[in-house]
Amino acid sequence: MKLRATVRRGVRLGVTIGAWPAGIVGTLCLVAAFVFLTGGHDGTAGKLTIAGACAVLGSMAVGVTLGTATGLALALAPRGLLTRPPLRGLLAALTAGLPVAALSVAALTGDGYTLASYPPSIHFLTWSATLTIALVAAARSGDIAGCGAGCGADL
């Protein structure tokens, strides 16, 4: 198994993970900026455009970083773990999901706020996004690790 090929497949997953939120947030910011621009609020439109660009770049950077980390973890995992799909999926899910969960908690608990300061809708969005990223990484762990139908045979 080639380290570089596995990491490359992980990066491809990371681009996919980062592209979805980047596309959604970028589109929403551009539409809102256009609405404010047509309403004569040039300053707000400019700020929304900058915020959207930062969100897109940040989302892509986090996605590529998560994909790289997942590919690297699967490339360095022992063969016995890779031949067991539940364990391989758990490794990929933890590698991709734990940093997102930690980043979410860090972002929500700054400036004297606690997690209890936020309404349930914020918690639902935050934790469902984290769970989705972890589940996608787990589901794609076989592809990233280069395991086909018989993973033990082609390693």
Q: Which residue matches tokens 């490359």?
A: 8
Q: pLDDT-based confidence at 150, cuts 50/70/90?
A: low
CB atoms near residue 114 (< 10 Å): 8
Q: What is the mean pLDDT of residues 42-71?
A: 93
- Can you tell me the mean pLDDT for 114-131? 91
* Residues 35 and 57 sit within 8 Å (Cβ to Cβ): no
d(CA 130, CA 128): 5
Confidence of residue 153 (pLDDT cuts 50, 70, 90): very low
